[in-house]
Amino acid sequence: MLSRFLPRFLMTFCICLFIVIMQFLWRYIDELVGKGLSVDVIAELFFYAALSMVPLALPLSILLAALMTFGDLGEHIELTALKSSGISLTTIMKPLAILMAVVAVGAFFFQNNVLPQSQVKMWTLLFSMRQTSPTLDIPEGAVYSQIPGYNIFVKRNDKEHDMLYGLLIYDVSNGNSYPRIVAADSGRLSMTEDKQHLVLTMYKGSWYEEMKNSDGVNGMSGDLYRRETFHDKEILIPYDANFTRMDDETMRSQYVGKNITELRQTIDSVRLKVDSAANFVLARLRTQPVCGVPAQRYAYKDGQQVIEQVKEVAIDKPVDLKKIIKEMPQNEQEQILNQAIAHTTSAMQDLQFQGYTISDDNFVIRRHQIELMKKFTLSLACLIFFFIGAPLGAIIRKGGFGMPIVISVLLFIVYYIIDNMGYKLARDGRWEVWHGMWLSSVVLLPLGIFLTHKAVNDSAVFNPDVWLNFLRRFTGLHQTRKLSAKEVIINEVVPDVAIERIENLKTSCQQFLDRYPVRQGFLAYWQQGYDKAAIKALAEEVDAVVDYLSNSREQMVLNKAMDYPVIRQLLTYQPTSNKNVGTALAALLPISLPLWLIGLRHQKNLKRDIAQTIKTSDQLVAIFNGEYSRDMEYK
């Protein structure tokens, strides 16, 4: 099993990792193109990106490899041969389950020790690349704005002679309020040796510049402008074209660069900070004066100053504040209202600021808790996907890349959607962090247990006939019989025995119809219904007669035997066998009434099928006795 599984696992892991790396490339392609980055820097970025994408590729590769391995065993009847030799599916899965346990433990240590360092390196490189200036490639007939503070328009770019023609430069390096506009017939753009500045050499042009406002200079006021015509002119533009790597410490202090111990330390310290801030706000609220009366006062006891809480003053009757304010002069009323508004606004702004601070700290706590939970969810996801893929492959029995890839992608999409939804709910504080981060595991774990149970017990989960029969039991769909002449017949049909068995079937059918001569009422249906045991016995008797008649050499007998209807076992024949439960169900009138009507229709169809059974039996007896005629079909 290991020799079958490991090559597929390594192959699918490489494929899945390549796919997620390509997704990373398309996401950040704009940060890499046109920066003049060396091959070793890009290779280093992709190496750390590949390490960071392992948690996304590992579960999918395990699912796909398990599906392919067990699907291939089932498709080539090897799984059946193993089971027929007395080897159970759990024994077959045991070595791979042990391997998955080792992979899960390795995934945990990878998440805790390797992933933080790789993410620090990856994000440091990525942010460094974002800050790197792009290489100079000025297009023709378009405004080029990649040089900070300058917008350059070029009519024609002669790359062979390194010349620019029809230059128009809009210089806002000193601010948009005082721009400089330069128009030149041609020019050349070059870089200094240290790659820290650009040298723009222009030929035959004009310089327009708006100066700062000057009032009262030489008796003049208003705006000043400057215009200059030049034959050749050089401008030195600050432009750092070197790749400068950021310090790793900036990202190492973030949640992505911490292991379990560091995450817990950060969570405890920030939580202590939040508790201290909340206690500080509570203490301030308790010391705030109420209606101008301070909540605390200073007193002297034994020659020392102490703080005492002001006792509440009991009021015999309510104070009518509106009446008191109305009796004051107009200016005092305005003064009181303005003071109240100012005091309320100040207190509200102070509390909002404190609330924003606490909210930001709580967000930091949640992000660290999410990263802490991720250290464990990957290991469990590996185990869950194995116990989904292995039994599912044993059930569907399809190897190769076709069906396994379709099923793996669908299951992984479901897992990714659920996991991403839980992550966002936890990040935004709508759910508890452990609720959101373990949501995908809680949803998929029962599926793995269910599929493993069904595969071990050889249940026909994906057999269409099983689901079709299950659907028929609810919807009442009809089923037809199909008989064909047998080439070799061991048990010949004896006419006397056949007539006896047919007559016994007619008697059983007539007894059932006599037992239920009329349509059942509402309460009778819910409390009694039709006897399911009698219906099942009748269906088995019909099948037995048909099975006996299928050995006939007469085509007419076979054709007539196919006219026997299939006695179905519908749930609507008898909702419940308990009279008290039926009475309780009947009380649910909005639901029980339409169900009663459906049940009556199904009961009517059942009696029709039983009547058809009696009619077909009479015709078969006539065939065996040589008395059959076409007129019997219309009676």
pLDDT confidence of residue 540: 92
End-to-end CA distance of the chain: 66
C-beta of residue 387 within 8 angstroms of C-beta of residue 448: yes
Please work out, in degrees rounded to the nearest 5, the angle formed at the alpha carbon of residue 61 by the alpha carbons of 57 and 62.
Answer: 120
Q: Torsions phi, psi of 246, nearest 5?
A: -70, 165
- When the pLDDT of each residue in the chain is averaged and rounded to a whole number, the result is 80
pLDDT confidence of residue 493: 87
Among the listed residues 121, 70, 22, the one whose alpha carbon sits nearest the alpha carbon of residue 394: 70
Q: Which amino acid is at 462?
A: F
pLDDT confidence of residue 544: 92
Q: pTM of the predicted model, to two decimals?
A: 0.58
Half-sphere exposure of 169 (CA within 13 A, CB side): 31
Q: Torsions phi, psi of 290, nearest 5?
A: -110, 115
Please report which helix (H) or strand (E) contains residue 491, including its range: none
HEC-encoded secondary structure of 402-458? HHHHHHHHHHHHHHHHHHHHHHHHHHCCCCCHHHHHCHHHHHHHHHHHHHHHHHHCC
pLDDT confidence of residue 34: 60
Positions of E strands within 159-295:
163-171, 180-191, 197-210, 214-217, 220-222, 225-238
Contacts 24+ apart (CB under 8 A), 397-400: 397/71, 397/74, 397/75, 397/79, 398/71, 398/74, 398/75, 399/68, 399/69, 399/71, 399/72, 399/73, 399/74, 399/75, 399/76, 400/68, 400/71, 400/72
Residues of the chain with pLDDT under 50: 216-217, 219-221
- Count of CB atoms within 10 A of residue 154's CB? 23
Tokens of 331: 């200016």
pLDDT confidence of residue 635: 63
- Which residues make beta-bridge pairs with 308? 297
CA distance 360 to 356: 6
DSSP structure string for 109-146? HIIIIIHHHHHHHHHHHHHHHHHSPPP--PPTTSEE--
pLDDT confidence of residue 435: 87
Tokens of 97: 């389950």
pLDDT confidence of residue 538: 92
C-beta of residue 484 within 8 angstroms of C-beta of residue 549: no
